[in-house]
Amino acid sequence: MFISRYLFALMGLFSFLFGGCSKQPAPSPQSAAQVRSSKPLAAPPEVTSEGEEGFHDLVFYIQEHKRLPDGSQSIRGSGTHRGRPLSLEVVLGPSWVAGSLGKDIPLVTYRGVVTYRSTGPDSDTFVQILDELYGTKLSPKAMGRETQFTGISLGGDPRDLAKGPVKIKLFFESGGQDDYAELYTNIQLDAHRLEMHEKDEEYRSPVVRALRAH
């Protein structure tokens, strides 16, 4: 009975971290250096250039990465959509707590705070384009100054991005039940890549509402 309950709980945890309809597969246990690399970017890309049918995943060029005084890491990304410049700042909080799924499961996860911040008018355009791509028809006027998410890493070490690619699942847990949302953020410094992947179509409206100015 104990073993059955343990397996049930373990399966539930994996479902919480990796489950759903997103095409982004659950990673096998691996180190940051083993996370599959993507094609390096030499300039700000068309943000939708690598999306797959049925999903609107965005890719940005990392213009700047810096460590802030409080220990946070700031990643500033830029891109274009049909000639319009877009940008945003993603900040990884200073504290990430390592976790384990068990001594026989070599997957280490890290839990912390990830913040999406506006960089100005190009971020307003970003959230407007996101509304357009998602078909949410919320017509946001601007991006909010900042939006905080709970982040759980699926690969790599978010405490030190220089070690290699990092994949993080984000959870927006503020507000009511209808405001709950999930999405993915992938960061690869050496390739200048900042990616925003959607988790599921049902989260499109909550994501736009979370990012828009209120």
DSSP code string of 43-95: SPPBTTTT--TT---EEEEEEEEEE-TTS-EEEEEEEEETTEEEEEEEEE-S-
Q: How far apart are CA 98 and CA 157, in angstroms?
A: 9
pLDDT band at 74 (very low <50, low <70, confident <90, very high): very high
Q: Name the one residue in this structure whose structure tokens are 């307003």.
A: 124
Q: What is the mean predicted confidence (pLDDT) over 84-91?
A: 98
pLDDT for the residue numbered 2 = 32
Average of per-residue pLDDT values in the chain: 86
The least confident of 7-16, 17-26, 40-49, 60-69 is 7-16
Distance CA 86, CA 118 (A): 10
Q: pLDDT value at position 54?
A: 79
Could you tell me which residue, 5 or 24, shows the higher pLDDT? 24
Distance, CA of 52 to CA of 68 (rounded, Å): 35
**Position 21 pLDDT exceeds 90:** no
Residues whose CB is less than 8 angstroms from the CB of residue 61 and which lie 6 or more positions away in sequence, other chains included: 41, 43, 44, 45, 77, 78, 79, 192, 193, 194
- Which H helix or E strand runs over 161? none
Report pLDDT for 5. 33
Q: What is the pLDDT of residues 193-202, one digit of tens each?
A: 999 999 999 9
Amino acid (1-letter code) at residue 126: F
Q: State the average pLDDT over residues 182-186.
A: 98
Tokens of 167: 């994949």
Q: What is the pTM of this model?
A: 0.84
- CA-wise closest residue to 118 among 169, 72, 175, 76: 76
pLDDT category of residue 103 using cuts at 50, 70 and 90: confident
Confidence of residue 209 (pLDDT cuts 50, 70, 90): very high
